[in-house]
Amino acid sequence: MFAIYKRDMRSYFVTPIGYVFLAIFYAIAGYYFFGYQLYGGNADFSYLFDALFSMVIFLSPLLTMKMFSEEKRHKTDQGLMTAPVSLTGIVAGKYLAALSIFMLALAITLLYLGIVAVKAPVELAVFLGHFIGMFLLGGALCAIGMFVSVLTESQVIAAVGTIGFGIFFTMVDSVGVMLGTPLIEKVCNYLSFYTHYQDFTTGLLNIADVIFFVSIAALFIFLTVRVLDKRRWS
């Protein structure tokens, strides 16, 4: 697993993808940090993380679209699956590499926290709630993107499919409200990323919300392993 992790981490910086992802993330985060915290004199990081919430839905596919799609397109997936590493190890290594790049991007907010904390009191619980929630959201999106990537050899389709999944899980609560059926509304609310993210924004660490995001990530990691297993024996 560690060999796969190192290989994929290196690939993010051998190709422009890692630099592009970090550059866009830092640019957008820096824009909102300057606008709300520095120029606006605001110690509340809610505006920044609200912007990042929407942004990662569209940015996360950059980290995952080539995971398996590129391997399949270049016919290197067979060599990967016959390597002396379990399929779970392969999937875990690739997933952790993507998650590491995401954390490297998200870590910029810790620098912003330090800058603001020097000049003004910051509600640390609220900031940490946002930070943990954003990390869990990124973990779920990376797992979803990896699953979509294993289904196709087209990076474009993988990216669009991941965005589609992200939008669905973010807006599914609105669908429940429009349908108006209490049971469907309850189910849709439970599946909503936005609904489960809300407690984090108030500084509350709700274990049920943590379990939800971890379960989504675990489910799509499991599905990715199953797809690879089926492909290996087909």
pLDDT in tens, 189-202: 888 999 899 889 88
Flag whether pLDDT at 234 surpasses 70: no
pLDDT number for residue 80: 64
Distance, CA of 127 to CA of 148 (rounded, Å): 31
Give the chain's mean pLDDT.
Answer: 88
pLDDT number for residue 176: 67
Flag whether pLDDT at 72 surpasses 90: no
DSSP single-letter state for residue 74: T
User: What confidence category does residue 20 fall into, taking pLDDT thresholds of 50, 70 and 90?
Assistant: very high
pLDDT, one tens digit per residue, over 89-146 is 889 999 999 999 999 999 999 999 999 988 888 889 989 999 999 999 999 999 999 9
Which tokens hold the place of 227? 């797809």
DSSP one-letter string for 163-201:
HHHHHHHHHHHHHHHHH--HHHHHHHHHH-HHHHHHHHH
Residue ranges making up the domain that contains 220: 2-233
Distance, CA of 117 to CA of 205 (rounded, Å): 22
Instruction: Indicate the Cα dihedral angle 167, 161, 218, 134, nearest 10°.
Output: -40
Contact 18/12 with Cβ under 8 angstroms? yes
Flag whether pLDDT at 83 surpasses 70: no
Flag whether pLDDT at 177 surpasses 80: no
pLDDT, one tens digit per residue, over 201-222 is 888 888 999 999 999 999 999 9
Report the predicted TM-score, pTM, of the whole model to 2 decimal places.
0.92
Q: For 130-139, 161-170, 173-182, which range has the lowest pLDDT when averaged over its residues?
A: 173-182
Distance, CA of 126 to CA of 109 (rounded, Å): 13
Contact 145/160 with Cβ under 8 angstroms? no
Q: How far is CA 229 from CA 48, 65, 69, 123, 182, in A?
A: 41, 20, 16, 47, 39
pLDDT number for residue 145: 95
The arithmetic mean of pLDDT across residues 166-177, rounded, is 83
Overall number of domains in the chain: 1
pLDDT number for residue 41: 80
In degrees rounded to 5, what are phi and psi of residue 214?
-65, -40
User: What confidence category does residue 184 fall into, taking pLDDT thresholds of 50, 70 and 90?
Assistant: confident
Closest CA to 29 of 2, 5, 47, 6: 47
The count of other CB atoms within 10 Å of the CB of residue 198 is: 14
